[in-house]
Structure 1
Amino acid sequence: MLGFSIYLNETNDTISKKINHMKSHGFSVIFSSINLPEYNKVQVDDKINFLLSIIKNMGMKLILDVNNVTVNEYSIIEKIAYFDLTSQVYLRLDDGFSLEKIINIAEKNQIVLNASTLTTELILELEKQNLDFTKVLACHNYYPREDTGLDEKYFQTINKQLRNKKIKTIAFFGNSDATYARGPIFSGLPTLEIHRYSHPLVSAINLLEKYNCDYAILSDLGLSNEMLDQFDYYFCEKTVLLRVTEVNFEFQAELLSTHCSRNDISKNVIRCQQSRRRNNGVIRADVYPKARVVGSVTLDNENYLRYMGELQITKIPLAADRRVNKIAQVIDEDLELLLYITSGRIFKFKIV
């Protein structure tokens, strides 16, 4: 399940538009915190009421980050009850909550515990109190400072322990693009260090499919419309959408067709299984064949005889070949997505 973050220093209009926009692209969970030091009390109180009213009307889930002080200072539990949102709001209980307080809150509310501090001992104590773990989530932190994100093996170990207790997990992916990165460090807000400068879609796929998280939440300020389209294609249509430049428009129709990777995966290239059947005309060889860098989109020409018309994407650098025409180039930001064009995967190109 995909989620995104709302920061309470944004205007109500910005928050409303953002929620509607992200929901239209399949993001169904909102994460927000009332613990950030730059917030003032009046601002937070107003924004919480506004956010809860939107959640109620739109049927979305909210994970609200609170601590032992702010949960009382802003009457959070009372507000959730007033809006009748106990089934839609999860309270992420930051440090400072006693075992007794956790149990008391969990009696009438869904809770999220800190995955990094949820020790085996605490889990055993919660079990003794008959806490229903089906109503509990565990959320990892995000890490603004470079080099401080979690190690993958440690992350996998923690998640495995939590899954064994039937506790669902949440992790964050960032967007280090200057337009959307949140300050003051502006280096992305990932849970895993390997995701700090990754394509956001790659990070989300990894969290959900490789590391088996139940929720992947965008922690930075947003995503471009082009990236949101890529999320739509992958999660709604099971299709990898690649942005390309350096297009030879003679072959635009073939380029913009829907492609499917062959079931037999090649080591050096991604091969389209339908393209040779689609290309019935003669494809003349380029006068000056081009070297093929990673992400080159190519079409075999008449010199490749029965292979003429085969579309490929290079996974490694390959030399120029008089039998192969280069017709486009996958942009650098999308090269990571080539890893997800697996056996039988649908893929498409978008000219930018």
Structure 2
Amino acid sequence: MRRLGISIYPEHSTPDLDKRYIKLAHRYGFERIFTCLLSVSKPYEVVMEEYKDIISYAKTLDMEVILDVAPAVFDSFDISYDDLGFFAEMGADGVRLDLGFDGLKEAKMTYNPYGLKIELNMSNDVEYLTNILTHQANKNQLIGCHNFYPQKFTGLPYDFFISCSKRFKKHGIRTAAFVTSQTGEIGPWNINDGLCTLEQHRELSIDVQAKHLWATDLIDDVIIGNAYANEAELKLLGDLKRDMIELKVELHSDATPIEHQITLDEIHIRRGDISEYMVRSVEVRKKYGNDNFPIRESVPQQKGSVFIGNDSFGKYKGELQVILRDMPLDERKNLVAEVVEEERFLLEYIKPWSSFRLIKKL
């Protein structure tokens, strides 16, 4: 099951603010928390007390908590990779290795007696995971998570992201990546231009970022990298269909009630023998074939436009089509809606036989 997560940074906030944020996120269906020890500079006892308190609260809401660590953290707190009791005492469910060891050490960690999950950094296109698996790691205790990038123009390019992610997916490892809130100002460092994994996401709406990650079919968990996302953003993510592409549309003013119903109330399935010019939802024409679709003034077919066959279209009357490539006008079709510009790039992820929905932009 795909999950949603938030990030908290106790060293840059207060327990009350963090707990309030965790409670709000839980209300909107978030299930996991990322938090970071990389930038912590407080003494061992203080860190233990602060993190134990906030993690304990998160556990009362059944939130999974993963701690981001690196070899320097092990050295700072005099922790051995052979004994992860420090993290277990905090109450964490796992540790994320921002920087790795030698493969053998990671493999040994997966057999820790505390049942802690070992989360690997996914943002390197090398044989790191293969090396760990070669050392007979307990794959059931391995998960993966990409980095986030606080500085503009340093996030991952799309093709590289895909290549890195495939390395984990082919082994059945659970994956995660970060999206950025447009309101969050807190991260682990003093630079925060947004905390996303993919550079192309930095200025996008938070729900579009999440839709894109899930549309790749390579990411299981979507985590907000910066704190604090506002309630509207949390709700946007909480309301998303996690297993289906949903595209926001603006309805055409002349569309009829039956055209509204077909567009918004149906789960559409792309025809399997696909066209490069359009996504065809043909099942709806069978259901609505006896309804009337009066002919309206025709307009050119442009990428992102949504049409329904009108009364002059014979057996194709009632068929819904989402345009992928610009085409000449066709008087046999009525324009009913437009996919919002920000989401048009997601059309390429509607594969043969894919289910998808169109929802009204609010």
Task: Sort the TM-score into its range (normalised by shorter chain).
Answer: 0.7 to 0.9
Q: Is 1:297 paired with 2:284?
A: no
Report what 2:316 is aligned to. Answer: 307
C-alpha contact (below 8 Å) 2:153/2:199 kept by paired residues: yes
C-alpha contact (below 8 Å) 1:174/1:200 kept by paired residues: yes
Query: Residues 135 and 178 (structure 1 numbering): CA distance in 2 closer, same or farther, change over 3 Å?
Result: closer
Which piece of structure 1 moves more, 187-196 or 260-269? 187-196
Aligned length: 337
1:89-128 matched pairs, under 5 angstroms: 89-95=93-99, 107-108=112-113, 109-115=116-122
Q: Is 1:217 paired with 2:227?
A: no
Q: By how many angstroms is 1:30 displaced?
A: 1.4
Query: Residues 102 and 324 (structure 1 numbering): CA distance in 2 closer, same or farther, change over 3 Å?
Result: closer
C-alpha contact (below 8 Å) 1:178/1:186 kept by paired residues: no
C-alpha contact (below 8 Å) 1:234/1:241 kept by paired residues: no
Query: Residues 257 and 193 (structure 1 numbering): CA distance in 2 closer, same or farther, change over 3 Å?
Result: same
Q: By how many angstroms is 1:257 displaced?
A: 1.7
Q: By how many angstroms is 1:310 displaced?
A: 2.3
Q: Is 1:281 paired with 2:291?
A: yes
SS in 2 for 1:338: helix
Query: Residues 280 and 146 (structure 1 numbering): CA distance in 2 closer, same or farther, change over 3 Å?
Result: same
Q: Is 1:227 paired with 2:236?
A: yes
1-structure distance, mates of 2:129, 2:326: 51
Query: Residues 346 and 12 (structure 1 numbering): CA distance in 2 closer, same or farther, change over 3 Å?
Result: same
1:13-162 matched pairs, under 5 angstroms: 13-23=16-26, 26-36=29-39, 47-68=50-71, 70=73, 80-82=87-89, 85=91, 89-95=93-99, 107-108=112-113, 109-115=116-122, 132=138, 134-151=140-157, 154-155=160-161, 158=164
Give the alignment partner of residue 268 of structure 2, picking from 250, 260, 263.
Answer: 260
Query: Residues 34 and 260 (structure 1 numbering): CA distance in 2 closer, same or farther, change over 3 Å?
Result: same
TM score, norm. by length of structure 1: 0.73
Q: By how many angstroms is 1:338 displaced?
A: 2.2
C-alpha contact (below 8 Å) 1:297/1:327 kept by paired residues: yes
Report what 1:5 is aligned to. Answer: 6
Query: Residues 200 and 320 (structure 1 numbering): CA distance in 2 closer, same or farther, change over 3 Å?
Result: same
1-structure distance, mates of 2:354, 2:4: 28
C-alpha contact (below 8 Å) 1:137/1:169 kept by paired residues: yes
Q: Which amino acid aligns with 2:307?
A: T
Q: By how many angstroms is 1:219 displaced?
A: 1.9
Q: Which amino acid aligns with 1:141?
A: N
Report what 2:173 is aligned to. Answer: 168
Q: By how many angstroms is 1:33 displaced?
A: 0.8
Report what 1:345 is aligned to. Answer: 355
Q: Which amino acid aligns with 2:196?
A: P
Q: Which amino acid aligns with 1:260?
A: H
C-alpha contact (below 8 Å) 2:104/2:132 kept by paired residues: no
SS in 2 for 1:19: helix
Give the alignment partner of residue 335 of structure 1, picking from 328, 336, 344.
Answer: 344
Which piece of structure 1 moves more, 5-14 or 293-302? 5-14
C-alpha contact (below 8 Å) 1:32/1:62 kept by paired residues: yes
Q: CA RMSD in A?
A: 4.2
TM score, norm. by length of structure 2: 0.72
1-structure distance, mates of 2:223, 2:354: 28
Query: Residues 140 and 283 (structure 1 numbering): CA distance in 2 closer, same or farther, change over 3 Å?
Result: closer
SS in 1 for 2:118: strand
Query: Residues 197 and 308 (structure 1 numbering): CA distance in 2 closer, same or farther, change over 3 Å?
Result: same
C-alpha contact (below 8 Å) 2:298/2:331 kept by paired residues: yes
Q: Is 1:191 paired with 2:197?
A: yes
